[in-house]
């Protein structure tokens, strides 16, 4: 039977079948592919992440909007569109109805991906690092829509913390205020995206995918506000970006953004791109190591959640 959401969301046959059977599914976002990683590596990564999910025994559902239609699960040609189409939009949740109306295509951020995944019935989602409160937020109020969506969406997001280009303490504070559950995966310190640790503590620690699934069952049993669960999974220390290089290059990147007046939606892709260039690709490798680890863990959590 088609649910009413089928009228506005189009799951691929494979994802629809998995969901109907209660099989494990992992949502993957597309902004990281289109706006977060350089070409042509981005397409390889899109394919690789789907492979990581499959190897763990789950079904990948990369989410994007194509010609106005939110798509849950993309085929090879559609992944290629996300990775290569010039001028592809970056869509957060608020952009979805507009994109649908004007039949635009765009990649979905953590905000839009979480929203669409939850609507489609997918509970587990993997990304690199969440958006959050930007440095300088007291002046421009730039806080990613990711945080607002996570405060009212029942989804588990596996990430390497929040992007280190942000004001990390302020972002953690906002997550606390908005009631979003945060747990460290086998760590007592909140990860730092490119870095294993942000240097900040995380209040709760879990040790296994089964424990993550138990937290998710607890969320549902308590039946409180439909908040997210953030599973913060650090990049392994031997794969992190050199912390000293990170701090130096990030300071340069922030200064360049200020000088060039980069703001709003453009700031995150600008800073990530600057770091890739200025570290000779080392930040890219750390970012990819984080995303791979998060994707593998998300698949294991999806398996624990589905009981398979």
Q: Which residues are annotated as a binding site for Mn(2+)?
A: 142
User: In whole angstroms, how close is the CB of 131 to Mn ion at the nearest point?
Assistant: 7
- Judged by CB under 6 A, the stretch of 46-54, 103-111, 179-187, 275-283 that binds ligand PSU is 103-111
Report the nearest approach of ligand PSU to the CB of residue 51 (Å). Answer: 18
Instruction: List the one residue from 216, 229, 272, 301 that touches ligand PSU (CB under 6 A).
Output: 272
* Calpha distance 117→71 (Å, rounded): 10
Please identify which of the residues 50, 78, 143, 163 carries the catalytic annotation.
Answer: 163
Stretch that binds ligand PSU, among 62-70, 106-114, 230-238, 296-304 (CB under 6 A): 106-114
Q: Which of 31, 156, 164, 219 binds ligand PSU (CB under 6 A)?
A: 31
Query: Exactly one of 12, 187, 233, 287 binds ligand PSU (CB under 6 A); which one?
Result: 287
Nearer to Mn ion, 93 or 233 (CB): 93
Cα of 236 vs its chain's centroid, Å: 18
Cα distance between residue 143 and residue 215, in whole Å: 27
| Residue 150 Cβ vs Mn ion, minimum distance, rounded to whole Å | 14
- Let me know: does 164 contact 193? Beta carbons within 8 Å: yes
Does 29 qualify as catalytic in the annotation?
Answer: yes
**Least distance (Å) from Mn ion to the CB of residue 233?**
23
Instruction: Quote the CA–CA distance of 104 and 31 in Å, as a whole number.
Output: 15
**Residue 62 binds: one of ligand PSU, Mn ion, none (C-beta under 5 to 8 A by kind):** none
């Amino acid at each position: 039977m088609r649910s009413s959401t089928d009228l506005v969301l189009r799951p691929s046959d494979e994802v629809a079948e998995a969901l109907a059977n209660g099989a494990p599914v992992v949502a993957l976002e597309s902004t990281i592919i289109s706006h977060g990683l350089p070409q042509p590596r981005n397409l390889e990564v899109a394919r690789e992440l789907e492979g990581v999910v499959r190897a763990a025994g789950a079904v990948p559902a990369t989410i994007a909007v194509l010609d106005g239609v939110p798509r849950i699960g993309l085929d090879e040609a559609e992944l290629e569109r996300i990775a290569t189409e010039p001028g592809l939009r970056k869509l957060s949740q608020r952009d979805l109805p507009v994109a649908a109306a004007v039949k635009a295509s765009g990649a979905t951020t953590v905000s839009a991906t979480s929203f669409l995944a939850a609507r489609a019935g997918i509970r587990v989602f993997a990304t690199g690092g969440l958006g959050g409160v930007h440095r300088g937020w007291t002046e421009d109020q730039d806080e990613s829509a990711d945080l607002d969506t996570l405060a009212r969406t029942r989804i588990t997001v596996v990430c390497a913390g929040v992007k280190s280009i942000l004001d990390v303490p302020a972002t953690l504070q906002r997550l606390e205020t908005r009631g979003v559950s945060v747990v460290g995966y086998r760590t007592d310190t909140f990860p730092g995206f490119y870095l294993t640790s942000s240097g900040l503590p995380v209040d709760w620690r879990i040790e296994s995918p089964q424990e993550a699934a138990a937290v998710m069952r607890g969320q549902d049993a308590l039946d409180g506000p439909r908040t997210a669960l953030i599973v913060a999974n650090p990049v392994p220390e031997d794969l992190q970006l050199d912390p000293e290089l990170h701090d130096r290059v990030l300071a340069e990147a922030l200064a360049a953004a200020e000088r060039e007046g980069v703001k709003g939606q453009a700031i995150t892709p600008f800073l990530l791109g600057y770091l890739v260039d200025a570290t000779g690709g080392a930040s890219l490798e750390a970012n990819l190591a984080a995303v791979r680890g998060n994707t593998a863990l998300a698949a294991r959590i999806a398996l624990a959640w589905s009981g398979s």
